[in-house]
Amino acid sequence: MSDCVFCKIATRQIESYIIEESENFLAFLDIHPHAPGHTLLIPKNHFKNLSELPENLGEEFVKIAKKTAFLLSKAFKTEHFTIGINQGSLAGQTIDHLHIHFLPRFPNDKGGSIHSVVYNKPEEDLSAIYQKILKVKNES
């Protein structure tokens, strides 16, 4: 997409600190790091979210995700990461081009776990929630 900042990074119209690249993916440093080594992994083509990512890119995606984590773990001497996607504006997605955040974690870095992102306790019990999902699954 012509006005997408991550498309422009992928085509080198905008500079970035690229740490790893494969045929269809690129990993580069986040411009506003929330941790040392905060990295974004993107598909080079414009897919809005994980649902749009073609399944045939799955193996390449896992491979570069593992390589990204490996490089960061060695560079920053930590095995601890928060890895995640803000998918959709309600979840905090500000750039509509799929990107996976890699946040190296350190002792006393004042961060929390994924559980601290939201606590919207459901009113229904787990069984009712499960039935809702099964219904969709059986109809699809």
**Where does this chain bind ligand AMP (CB under 6 A)?**
5, 14, 16, 30-32, 40, 86, 92-95
Going 49 to 51 to 52 to 55, the CA torsion angle's sign is positive
- Measured CA to CA, the distance from residue 66 to residue 58 in angstroms comes to 12
Active-site choice (97, 99, 101, 115)? 99
Please confirm, yes or no, whether 99 is among the known catalytic residues.
Answer: yes
Residue 92 interacting partner from ligand AMP, Zn ion, none (CB closer than 5 to 8 Å by kind) = ligand AMP
User: Is position 53 an interface residue for Zn ion (rule: CB under 5 A)?
Assistant: no
Write down the least CB distance from residue 137 to ligand AMP, Å.
Answer: 29
Q: What are phi and psi of 75, to 5 degrees?
A: -65, -35
- Measured CA to CA, the distance from residue 126 to residue 69 in angstroms comes to 34
Q: What are the residue numbers of the active site?
A: 99
